[in-house]
Amino acid sequence: MLLSIADVLTKAQVKECRKLLDKAEWVDGNVTSGHQSALAKNNMQLPEDSAVARQIGDFIQDALGASSLFMSAALPLKVFPPLFNHYAGGQEFQTHVDNAIRVLRGTNFRIRSDLSATLFFSEPEEYDGGVLTIEDTYGNQQVKLSAGSMVLYPSSSLHHVTPVTRGARISSFFWIQSMVRDDAQRALLFQLDQSIQTLTQQLGGKDPQVISLAGTYHNLLRMWADS
């Protein structure tokens, strides 16, 4: 399931983050690459131990916790601390798949990457190129969202970022280990949850059909989830 989530951060929040990101010191993006990714990757990143990365990363995680759409779609068990990248001057990331296991350098923290996320800090008109292209069951999906918005997609997907030929593309990227490993099961639970929320608004939370559907949702979650 591929899902775009608008306005995870407000424009004012993006502006404050950009002040920090624009002054930050960027390094070669391959500092976090696996062997295969290093062959395809050409961009800049903030170091994982960067104070700016940690500050904005904590801010992003707070925003994710407040996003009901993200929580419903991802069913997160663990979120890898957000990282940050910068593309300019023809830089790109050729076709690759994300590593299955991500380990936070210098710690015992590790996750299975079920979902990948990109949160944009540059507006689409600030740069040319830089399109995140994800190979989906229904063909290639091209993603270039407004600043503050985020795309969520299966980490098993082949994807690439086209060369940035004008301006700069700044974004955060990170991975989520879901309580529900299987993408099809997560998609089914998400669709069911969204239907329950719509019916609750229309019929009220005490309606017998709403209660029945909510029970089905939780029983499926109980069957499929690891916690």
CA quadruple 176, 179, 181, 183: dihedral sign: negative
Which two structure tokens, joined as six digits, stand for 55? 């500050």
pLDDT-derived band at 88, boundaries 50, 70, 90? very high
Comparing 24-38, 94-108, 152-166, 192-206, the range with the smallest average pLDDT is 24-38
CA distance 119 to 19: 16
What mean pLDDT comes out for the span 208-216? 96
List residues bridging with 110 in a β-sheet.
103
Q: What pLDDT shows up at residue 136?
A: 83
30-58 core/surface letters (b: 16 or more CB in 10 A; e: else):
bebbbeebeeebbbbbbbbebebbeebbe
pLDDT-derived band at 138, boundaries 50, 70, 90? confident
| pLDDT tens digits, one per residue of 8-59 | 999 999 999 999 999 999 999 776 655 555 668 899 999 999 999 999 999 9
List residues bridging with 27 in a β-sheet.
45
Q: What pLDDT shows up at residue 170?
A: 98
102, 110 contact by CB (below 8 A)? yes
Residue 62 scores a pLDDT above 90: yes
Closest CA to 176 of 108, 95, 118, 224: 118
Q: What pLDDT shows up at residue 3?
A: 97
Q: Which domains does the chain have, with CATH numbers?
A: 3-178 (2.60.120.620), 183-224 (4.10.860)
CA-to-CA separations, 107 to 28, 40, 102, in angstroms, rounded? 22, 27, 11
Q: What pLDDT shows up at residue 227?
A: 82
| pLDDT tens digits, one per residue of 153-169 | 999 999 999 999 999 99
What mean pLDDT comes out for the span 81-97? 96
What mean pLDDT comes out for the span 196-203? 96
Q: What is the mean pLDDT of the chain?
A: 94
Closest CA to 84 of 114, 55, 127, 115: 55
